[in-house]
Amino acid sequence: MIAAQVASTDQPNNSLFTAFSSTGAPTSRHQWLLDSSCSTHGTGFRDCFTTYEGIPEGKQRICVPNNGEINALGRGDVTLLVWDDGKQCKMELLLKDVLYVPACGENSLLSVSQLRRSSIVI
């Protein structure tokens, strides 16, 4: 199980990111991994997009940790259902400009830097 929380403070530029994992839990297509090294949100699941625009192959290349490159084939918005710990309820979180990257397989990544740039507070 992957859990992520972003909490705001009274300071405009202070946020707290917390993540933990449990190796024994099964993964599912609805889980997104919080990733501090990726610069943009990305997923290998085409059907999770609420809006979508295709990108011609080769036009948007993404560098991966092994110094290789993979293609993004689209971009759009994804709405996630997340838990709001402060309000003790589920809420919708709209992720803008998410890349569709089939080479990600069954992985979906939440970019910490993109969350910070968009001032999303979970």
DSSP 82-117: EEETTTTEEEEEEEEEEEE-GGGTT-EEEEHHHHHH
**pLDDT per residue as tens digits for the range 35-53:** 888 889 999 999 999 999 9
Residue type, 63: C
The arithmetic mean of pLDDT across residues 65-80, rounded, is: 90
Does pTM surpass 0.85?
no
